[in-house]
Amino acid sequence: VSSVRTFHEDVRSALGGRHVVTDQDLTASHCIDWTRRWHGSTPAVLRPGSTDEVAEVVSAARRHHVALVPQGGNTGLVGGATPLAGEVVVDLRRLDRLDPVDAAARQVTVGAGVPLATVHAHVAPASLAFAVDLGAREQATVGGMVATNAGGIHVVRNGPMRVQLVGVEAVLGTGQVLVANMAGLEKDNTGYDLPALLCGSEGTLGIITAARLRLVARPEMVAAALVGFDSVDDAVWAASTLRGEPAVVAIELMTADGLAVVADFLQQSVPLLPVPAAVLLVEAAGRGDVTAALGDAVAALPGALDAAVSDDAAGRERLWRWREGHHEAAAALGVVHKADVTLPTGALARFVMAAPALVERVAPGSTTLVYGHAGDGNVHVNVVGPKPDDDSVVDAVLAAVLERGGSVSAEHGIGVAKRAWLVRQRGEVAVTAMRGIKSALDPDNICNPGVLLP
């Protein structure tokens, strides 16, 4: 009997009809990504409400040879959650489990569908904090952040999502439910680290359903400073020095060109005058007199010019506007072509200085903003000017990054957008190993088959 049932019948029986959404008006928002560059279509959006329901969905997909695209807040930037080949979308936002904070262990267990901002709010009353933060915090979900090993502004101090992930629950491509260290043991040296493997696998090995997250102390004091430098070289050298300061939790780089675009957008003047060639936004957090510690650290930096320091929330937000405004200012000018790259420490400054000319050669008259997480060697190159489908600028930037020994994706992942670059980045041996791992955990290739692996 089962053999004549369709996939839709199976999932309707598993989830109930109202959680199998086929109305195109309702599925449309799931078929386009946050950048509006990737458009697809889907026969159905499934909304499982429990891990067991996800397992039933994956098992049904195996039986009927149906490809699945898992989706959380749909805030990815590389097309990794868009049903480009007509896959079925699995919307995980109903997995909204939010366990009590385990203060003694400094951990919390949350469902894949919980937005980042909800985690932040949930752990704050226990005087704890979740170490990952990023601009899309209201929409981005924990499951998606685990699947993509999300980064953000505090990686320089606390590492990306993979470092915060103590344990994971997932439905593998086999349909089996994997529960890996959800008890949150700090040390468990018994075999392969499956949480670390699933983190960053972009939905290609299975579907994350819940995560056990590490928490850090909630800082009592936070201070931020905008620091000017005569040259990008000086700023990058300063970023490297600041990484060694235990209280420093964010080190963001901006250049005069980018600040000019943001100043136009914000209709404000840069708070450092004359506008320096390069600016670092440095945030420090902890106990005691963090403001003084930050001031001392900044004053000791060779090449540091003027600095604007603030330790109240409103003042910090005004300083951060200059960094976060880059993204919006670029978007206000047109379609933004984004390259999210890491350079080796010694090659970062030269790359930041060379990028605008490199873009100008490929796409004359474009506007280029180079900014980002200088403490990690990670910068975002945003280019406005080329047509939406013209990949030539990003290709040229990524090729230059590879030549210099860098990475074509620092934190956004591979998705569909960077798939063609994976072998050049990681080498044939690594990609062959990844394919073997994918075949073992997703033998029928039903989990995000269009993503990551070329």
When binding is defined by CB under 8 A, the residue of 43, 98, 437, 444 that contacts its own copies is: 437
Angle in degrees, 0-180, between the axes of helices 7-15 and 51-64, rounded to the nearest 10:
170
Least distance CB 218 / its own copies (angstroms):
10
- Residue 75 or 378: the one with the smaller Cβ distance to its own copies is 378
> What is the pattern of x (binds its own copies, CB under 8 A) and - over residues 201-220?
x---------------x---
Is 16 within 8 Å of 47 (Cβ atoms)?
no
Least distance CB 179 / its own copies (angstroms):
6
Does residue 100 bind its own copies (CB under 8 A)? no
- Residue 275 or 423: the one with the smaller Cβ distance to its own copies is 423
When binding is defined by CB under 8 A, the residue of 408, 416, 417, 446 that contacts its own copies is: 408
Residues numbered 414 to 433 that lie near its own copies (CB under 8 A) are 414, 418, 421-422, 425-427, 429-433
* C-alpha–C-alpha distance, residues 172 and 334, integer Å: 40
Q: Is 385 left (phi over 0), alpha (psi -120 to 50) or beta?
A: left
Is 283 within 8 Å of 223 (Cβ atoms)?
yes
How many beta carbons lie within 10 A of that of residue 86, not counting itself?
A: 12
**Chain position carrying tokens 């970023």:** 239
Least distance CB 405 / its own copies (angstroms):
5
Residues numbered 6 to 65 that lie near its own copies (CB under 8 A) are none
Does residue 192 bind its own copies (CB under 8 A)? yes
> What is the pattern of x (binds its own copies, CB under 8 A) and - over residues 241-280?
--xx-x----------------------------------
Does residue 448 bind its own copies (CB under 8 A)? no
* C-alpha–C-alpha distance, residues 369 and 301, integer Å: 25
Q: Which residues are 283's β-sheet partners?
A: 224, 250
- Residue 27 or 448: the one with the smaller Cβ distance to its own copies is 448
Is 258 within 8 Å of 369 (Cβ atoms)?
yes
At 284 the three-state DSSP class reads strand
- Residue 197 or 353: the one with the smaller Cβ distance to its own copies is 197
* C-alpha–C-alpha distance, residues 68 and 433, integer Å: 23
Does residue 444 bind its own copies (CB under 8 A)? no
Q: Give rounded-to-5 percent helix, strand, coil for the chain.
A: 40, 25, 40
Nearest to 38 by CA among 422, 388, 447: 388
When binding is defined by CB under 8 A, the residue of 180, 225, 308, 393 that contacts its own copies is: 180
Nearest to 308 by CA among 342, 279, 349: 279
- Residue 113 or 195: the one with the smaller Cβ distance to its own copies is 195
- Residue 394 or 410: the one with the smaller Cβ distance to its own copies is 410
Does residue 285 bind its own copies (CB under 8 A)? no
Nearest to 442 by CA among 198, 190, 211, 144: 198
When binding is defined by CB under 8 A, the residue of 80, 115, 200, 450 that contacts its own copies is: 200
Window of 16-24, 66-74, 309-317, 405-413 that interacts with its own copies by CB under 8 A: 405-413
Does residue 295 bind its own copies (CB under 8 A)? no
Does residue 193 bind its own copies (CB under 8 A)? yes
Least distance CB 163 / its own copies (angstroms):
7
When binding is defined by CB under 8 A, the residue of 184, 271, 303, 315 that contacts its own copies is: 184
At 165 the three-state DSSP class reads strand
Residue 20: φ, ψ to 5°:
-115, 95
Does residue 4 bind its own copies (CB under 8 A)? no
**Cα dihedral sign, 117-172-408-365:** negative
* C-alpha–C-alpha distance, residues 239 and 229, integer Å: 11
Does residue 151 bind its own copies (CB under 8 A)? yes
Q: Which residues are 268's β-sheet partners?
A: none
Residues numbered 332 to 391 that lie near its own copies (CB under 8 A) are 342, 344-346, 373, 376-378
